[in-house]
Structure 1
């Protein structure tokens, strides 16, 4: 056993963290406080400080939980938070991990509604200039709503009774629950791929929670971007949603929307939709059994709190990402400074001066080359004149001027009488012409020779 009584910082921090995690009172806490230093990361995580008059508590809400918050957390808001408290080992400080967040003193839904309404109004999504006109006699009408219920029934009955010439296409849509927002947006986008004259988007009445999908920003922007004019028909006459403000026309009820969409024509048409209740019952029973098994599994450690296993890594990644972003900014700044320094150095070495200097040197070399070429030409001229005089002095023509001649035999110069025989023809070249001759006799001038010799 080691005799060293001192712990490392890491070991002590891990010990403290285990104490926090083992305390059942810290696994599920309810805290009320004021938001401060709220930072919503691009990943969806929310970092903030929860404070009151005398204390401050660092806190974080990961993206999976943050998506359930109806409003946008802002500094200064008083909120009610449920979560757990543990130690973040990297910094050695304890912090609150929020799982749910509610506004205190004002409803979450009302606060989220007002925040989104103010945001979209500033962007101009409610302006009358963007409202599209409706055709007087529509031929095709798209209806985006739930496939069953009072709303779709009232719309279809009213449309067929008032104007049976119009073709009605229902886009079955979830209008309530977690998947409703995506379903509504997809249905609006799908309808815009066809040539409809009018689109009715809505549902029947209900609580604010039931109608909440029509207060979502994604739904509002899908309505605004639609090329087909849209009538919003959500809830009863007293219900007002963000979709009502963005739509080209707002109807108090689904029935009123159908009346606004087409001219009056009394004729009823019932449309029957059926579901296989047995399949739903089977699916419900299966889900119940699987959920029971899942609850039994997740209640055991460490599955009871699996998120605690990866929390430190999530925060470490976020901090590393922030550090990397800062380093990129610093590297970019240093590169700009170096670029500016090189620009100044380049400016000190003016290309114009270098060109002028090179031009001067080129001019000097050109003059020197011209001088050398002239001198060489004069030398060559003198050498040529001397050679021509020498050649002229040695020319056979000069000798022929003094009475000499040259004999040729078959184009070859005859240098000796021994080269010819009697009777052969010769050509004798003189200074003013040639003579054709025939050898009649050879006379040798060498001493003791006769004419044959």
Structure 2
């Protein structure tokens, strides 16, 4: 019996062989695997996604290359239940088998629904849905962004023409479905703002499936609407349909027709309001005129109009009384001032040196006219001037006699 000599393989040869076995197995070339995402990694530069799929008992590694990730409508997250379609093969470098994913769908909830919620959370966290602008009460120009062939544009134009024909309508036709719709809608909003050719914008379309309405859930549309300095009314689908555009807009309308009603006032209501204002104005004018007439009648019946001369005599009498009282007060005030002046003059005169001289006294002055306060300052033969009350006497000193000081003056106790 011949025995087969075993072959010695390199690691690479072994992994390559195992890989070929996997790839030749028809059960592994296309499989659908349900599991929960874990260890998710998104390599943004390459576009590849790396993750693991697990259930209660097992885990398998998986990779999704960039050429397949471009078709994803949502961003995978850890903990998300998904169904993956792909093939099972071996990565030769590590000898590890893994799932090569070609398509990925949420398990139980549609990809578009998840993408909607993910984008909504992202933009809400940025504050994109926060501040809302006021819709003008009487817009002069209304911008309409929708399909030229749908029922929405007909409904909008009909309602605007019926409610407020004074407004000018600026229409910008765009695609509202398909891959070209979102860029066209965003560009139309930016163009209206750039040209500043509307006071309010209506953006929307009629009803449809989630796929049909999806352009209004694109991030580019939401950011263009939120950045608009012109107030935007979103009118997408029917009353139960909600889009990201609705949250980014300044006002959400349940239908395109309702958007037109919210954008402009009703001319019939305005006419009724004007009639009411006119009536109230007329009543106010009549009330003012009636009050003025009663006031004139009261003034006409007053004494000043019936006998104005008597009224003037009364005023003259009052003025005369005030004048007499003022003159009396001024006379008493002047007399009081004279009395005070005489008293103060007498006191000043009593202190005047001239009053002393008038009683027979004289003041001795030196040749410079300065008073001499002591005999010790005078010398024999010195020239003096004696100042009297009615003139001066010039004299020469013949002798100086000093008076002896008393003991008290000398400081002896």
Among candidates 26, 32, 50, match of residue 53 of structure 2: 50
> Which residue in the other structure is 1:65 paired with?
68
Provide the alpha-carbon RMSD of the alignment. Answer: 2.4
Alignment of 1:356-375 (within 5 A): none
Who is 1:31 aligned against? 33
Q: 1:263 aligns to what?
A: 265
Which position in structure 1 is the counterpart of 2:88? 85
Describe the shift of the 1:55–1:143 C-alpha distance in structure 2 as closer, same or farther (beyond 3 A): same
**Partner residue, 2:142:** 141
Tell me the SS of whatever aligns to 1:245: helix
Shift of 1:265: 4.8
TM-score of the two chains, using structure 2 as the length reference: 0.58
Query: Greater Rg, structure 1 or structure 2?
Result: 2
**2:224 alignment counterpart:** 222
Relative distance call for 1:265 and 1:23 in structure 2 (3 A) is farther
1:100, distance to aligned residue in structure 2 (A): 2.0
Deviations 1:187-244 (A, max 9, x none): 3223322112111111101122222222233322221112221100011111122211
CA-CA distance at 1:27 after TM superposition = 2.5
Work out the CA distance in 1 between the residues paired with 2:231 and 2:92. 56
Distance 1:172 1:21 in 2: 52
Q: Does 2:166 align with 1:199?
A: no
- Distance (Å, rounded) in 2 between the aligned partners of 1:223 and 1:25: 50
Aligned to 1:174, the other structure's residue is in SS state: coil
Contact 1:237 1:253 in 2 (8 A): yes
Length-normalised TM-score, structure 1: 0.53
Offset at residue 83 of structure 1 (A): 1.7
1:246-325 pair list within 5 angstroms: 246-265=248-267
Task: Give the match's secondary structure for 1:137.
Answer: coil
- Give matches, 1:405-424, under 5 Å: none
Q: 1:182 aligns to what?
A: 183
Change (3 A) 1:169 1:12: farther
Gap change, CA 1:4 and 1:24, over 3 Å in 2: closer
Q: Separation in 1 of the partners of 2:63 and 2:181?
A: 28
Verify: 1:167 aligned to 2:177, yes or no: no
- Partners in 2 of 1:147 and 1:86 — Cα distance? 51
| Match for residue 208 of structure 1 among 200, 210, 223 | 210
Match of 1:413 in 2: none
Q: Distance in 1 between matches of 2:95 and 2:170?
A: 61
Unaligned residue ranges in structure 2 (runs of 5+)? 269-413
Q: 1:145 to 1:24 in 2, by over 3 A?
A: farther
Distance change (3 Å), C-alpha of 1:188 and 1:96: farther
**What is the CA–CA distance in structure 1 between the aligned matches of 2:103 and 2:93, rounded to whole Å?**
25
Structure 1 consecutive aligned stretches of length 4 or more whose deviation exceeds 4 Å: none
Larger deviation, residues 87-96 vs 199-208: 87-96
- CA shift digits 1:25-50 (9 cap, x unpaired): 22221110010001122133221101
Whole-angstrom distance in 2 between the partners of 1:20 and 1:180: 44
Q: Which residue does 1:113 correspond to in 2?
A: 116
Tell me how far apart the structure 1 counterparts of residues 184 and 18 of structure 2 sit (CA, whole Å).
Answer: 47
Return the match for 1:233 from 232, 235, 246.
235
Matched residue, 1:372: none
User: What is the CA distance between 1:4 and its match in structure 2?
Assistant: 9.9
Return the alpha-carbon distance in structure 1 between the equivalents of residues 181 and 101 of structure 2.
25
Q: Distance in 2 between matches of 1:190 and 1:199?
A: 12
Counterpart check, 1:21 vs 2:23: yes
Q: How far apart, CA to CA, are the structure 1 residues paired with 2:14 and 2:170?
A: 67
Query: Any idea what SS the aligned residue of 1:34 has?
Result: strand
Distance in structure 1 (CA, Å) of the matches to 2:267 and 2:23: 69
**Secondary structure at the residue paired with 1:26?**
coil
Which residue in 2 is equivalent to 1:123? 126
CA contact (8 A) 1:197 1:228 kept: yes
The whole-number CA distance in structure 2 between the counterparts of 1:170 and 1:92 is 62
1:52-93 per-residue CA deviation (whole Å, 9 max, x = no partner) reads 122211112233432433333111111111122223333332
User: 1:216 and 1:148 mapped to 2: Cα distance?
Assistant: 22
Residue 109 (structure 1) shift: 3.2
> For the residues of structure 2 that align with 1:6 and 1:187, how far apart are their CA atoms?
69
Q: Distance in 2 between matches of 1:146 and 1:188?
A: 14
